[in-house]
Structure 1
Amino acid sequence: MEQIREAKRISSESYFVQDKYYNNSYFFLNKEKGVLGIVSEYGNMGYVLDCTCKDFKDILIGIDPYYMLSKLKKPVFDLKGTVKNLREWILETRKENNCTKEQALEIWEMIEEIEQEGIEDEGYIFKFFNDNRFLIEEFECDFFCDVVSFLIAKKWTEHDKFFINYIWKSFIDLLKEEKGLVNE
């Protein structure tokens, strides 16, 4: 049985953006298939949007930049936001009488330890709480791992923000210029 159905050369348009730090970003666009590839100092990214019914460039021009960023990359773990979320959660859990004062205190101390150690790994948060599940077995929440997953905060790196606010914007400006939309 043949493993490859088709292999052929296709055409794509190429765009180049260089920032003030001389970091290069190359954008490769196949508008017929809705394919975008990016090779840059800010990461190598790609996205396929099967959009044969509409002009791919129009879609890229109109798309929310941070929505597009979420399609190209994933945000990173945010320790400060996670600690805040965990603290709010344990306070709410205690307020609703879903744990004892002693359980809440132990969990609070675990959260403080995570904060003091400056852990920047969401996997560690899962492992830490999973290893200490005996402290929380009496909680009414049967899906603690789901709760912890929900409480883990994410954020965009400064590189990601720079990319989407400047590099992506410049790429979109090139597309707008091509389509005669420079004054929008």
Structure 2
Amino acid sequence: HDLQWLKQQGWPEAIQKHLRYGGKLLGICGGFQMLGLKVEDPEGLEGEVGTTKGLALFEMVTRMVPGKQLRMVNGGLTSHIASTVVTGALKGYEMHNGVTEGAALVRPFAELEGRPDGAVSADGQVAGTYIHGVFDEPAACKAILAWAGLKTQGEQSVDYQRHRLQQLDRLADQVDQCLDKERLRRLLQL
């Protein structure tokens, strides 16, 4: 289990030190669940049957339940994470077991089609979300990086979608140059 590994490696102490010195922490999906008081897994869906103590950075508990949540989501960041509400800036997906409940959820990270997602601590240092892909849309990425303390130069912004596509094109070009296509065709008998 990832949470047990984090503890064995001494990460809870390092995280506490990071936060003491003003650092920020963002947990995504299972990382969000770990930020709570405990993760209950009564059926052993994610490992051994039992309860694992969380990092206790949020007043919340996650209980693993059958039936993985798997859906595409759209929404926006709340003013708890961004200096202003960033509507329509999030596109991603949820893919998790577990239901999370607790007082920490009153300060959501995002609003997804009318429902809250995630949490942000009262001091604004810790945030968590179930959304995979939170950095994919430029406006959301810029807002989250600003929350984390990245200083941007004027209106300069990186379009991560475009950058990712450029990197995939470069990879495709390399594969095209290095792959023996004739041999591959013979092997596949095409």
TM-score w.r.t. the length of structure 1 is: 0.21
TM-score w.r.t. the length of structure 2 is: 0.21
Tell me which protein shows more helix as a share of its residues.
1
Q: Which has the larger radius of gyration?
A: 1
